[in-house]
Amino acid sequence: MKTNAALSVQLYTIREALLADPAAALERVAALGFTTVELFGLVDHADTYAEYLPRFGLTPSSAHVSLIDRDPVPVIEAAQRVGVTTIIEPAVREPVWGDSDSVVLLANQFNELARIAADEGITVGYHNHWWEFGALDGTTALEAFADNLDPAVVLEVDTYWAQVAGAQAPELLARLGDRVRLIHVKDGDISREDINQVAVGDGRMPVLHVLAAAPGAVRVIELDDFAGDVFDALERSVQYLTAHGEHL
């Protein structure tokens, strides 16, 4: 299932190489054919991104940065400096997701952040893990959260963690519909062990069904960890996805 969006990669995947030698790491990313990347630690690494992304012809598809309970101004300033137009909250931890009032309050926080960011031309979104999928109000906590979000707030569905949680990622994507603007595409044994993740196409994830369920979403390849050379895993992931109609 082909989308108009080029494949992106979450740079957390290559974090060790990136922190050791940003130029060498991003040159390898570009050599794999990527032109867009998803950033992590936007504020902390803004200087690095501003210097090296343009050097290797890379632009941000999006960026992960903590948004809740912090001043949004430095985040927005870093985004504008680096050229980020979509900022994604990478995680809000477990206790919030077991209580209806807490989920509504969290959604309202995101709605307010989205209004502030929109004035600066920036979109705000949320990225899930496995802990947002407990039953709440007749649905999952993540979907109850989505029901209370302003349409301006987008979702980046991590399809792997959704599957780990017991949600069927293709069906989840179908239910959430156009609110899902980005998806994390990853593979593995569908466990909580990061080290068991593998190149896309080498594991148990229904990858092609996932892609078909979100044809308009930006595909962001990610490995939280890998028992081997992560650049090799990225190369195999790209080969698998491009062989099935995706493009760089």
> Domain holding 206: CATH number?
3.20.20.150
| Domain of 171, in residue numbers | 8-243
**Structural domain includes residue 78:** yes
Between CA 135 and CA 145, with CA 141 as vertex, the angle to 5 degrees is 155
The number of folded domains in the chain is 1
Residue 69: its pLDDT value, please? Answer: 87
Residues 64-99: b if buried by 16+ CB within 10 A, e if exposed: bbebeeeebeebbebbeebebbbbbbbebeeebbee
With a cut of 50, list the residues of the chain below it in pLDDT. Answer: 1-2
Residue 94: its pLDDT value, please? Answer: 87
Residue-level length of the chain? 248
For residue 7, which amino acid is it?
A: L
Residue 4: its pLDDT value, please? Answer: 60
Residues 6+ apart with CB under 8 A from 51: 22
Residue 240: its pLDDT value, please? Answer: 98
Residue 17: its pLDDT value, please? Answer: 98
**Structural domain includes residue 248:** no
Residue 204: its pLDDT value, please? Answer: 98
For residue 2, which amino acid is it?
A: K
Pairing of strands 218-221, 197-198: unpaired
**Structural domain includes residue 2:** no
Distance CA 247, CA 62 (A): 18
Tell if the pTM clears 0.75, that is, is over it.
Answer: yes
Distance CA 190, CA 165 (A): 9
Residue 222: its pLDDT value, please? Answer: 98
Residue pair 243/32 in contact (Cβ under 8 Å)? The answer is no
**Structural domain includes residue 25:** yes
Residue 6: its pLDDT value, please? Answer: 81
